[in-house]
A = this chain, B = another copy of it.
Amino acid sequence: MTRGRITVEPDDGLTTRGRRNRPLLIVNTGEGKGKTSAAMGMAMRAWAQGWAVGIYQFVKSASWRTGEYVALTRLGELDGDVTFERMGTGCTWMRSAHGGEVSAEEAAVAAWAHVRQGLAEERHRLWVLDEFTYPMAWGWVQTDEVVEALRSRPGTQHVVITGRRCPQPILDLADLVTEMTKVTHPFDKGQKGQAGIEW
């Protein structure tokens, strides 16, 4: 990465500082690798800035102890404000809120309600909604509702959404969309994922 250079001088009446502080919606999508790990790298940067960081994983289970979970919760314990919730069906608070087992769809709906309320309350400065495209793509969470909640979010809350099959209205709203494209992949050679690399 090189420091940003402006390619077009904007005519929006904002100062550079005002523009810098504009809340961003960032989407990492596509069939390739790196969508989640790039979002986690951004969470690390945000932590280093002293920002309140919230990471919400919509598909991963709480029983799956990933490297990013270990590292980012450790950083948060050290210093600062890191919330890291894995909101799949194994999520403990969700189970107790529902009085027992929840389906994947119920978990996603409850997770989104939780995030939407947090956005309204300006809970974090950087949000990572990991694999949030799937509950939208599957019709479990209404995309229009997400667009509305993102559009009306108060303050300077940056939001990063990751996952394949991102609905078009989210792409249209985004300030930055990066598509990760697979060029060569070791799984094609029959290699399984490795701890330390893939999680």
Stoichiometry, copies per complex: 2
Query: Interface segment, A17-25, A89-97, A109-117?
Result: A17-25
A152-187 residues at the B interface, CB under 8 angstroms: 158, 171, 174-187
A78 and B68 in contact, given A45-B37, A176-B184, A188-B7 (Cβ under 8 angstroms): no
- B-chain residues with CB within 8 Å of residue A19 when the two chains form the complex: 190-192
Q: Does A66 contact B (CB under 8 A)?
A: yes
Nearest CB of B to A90, in Å: 14
**Residue among B40, B176, B180 making CB contact with A185, cutoff 8 Å:** B176
Interface size class for chain A?
A: 35 or more
Q: Inside 8 A of A190's CB, which chain B residues have their CB? A: 6-10, 12, 19
- A30 contact set on B, CB distance < 8 A: 181
Q: Does A71 sit at the interface, judged by CB under 8 A?
A: yes
Interface set of A (CB-CB < 8 Å, partner B)? 1-10, 12, 16, 19-22, 24, 26, 28, 30, 32-42, 44-49, 51, 59, 66-72, 74-75, 78, 125-126, 131, 158, 171, 174-199
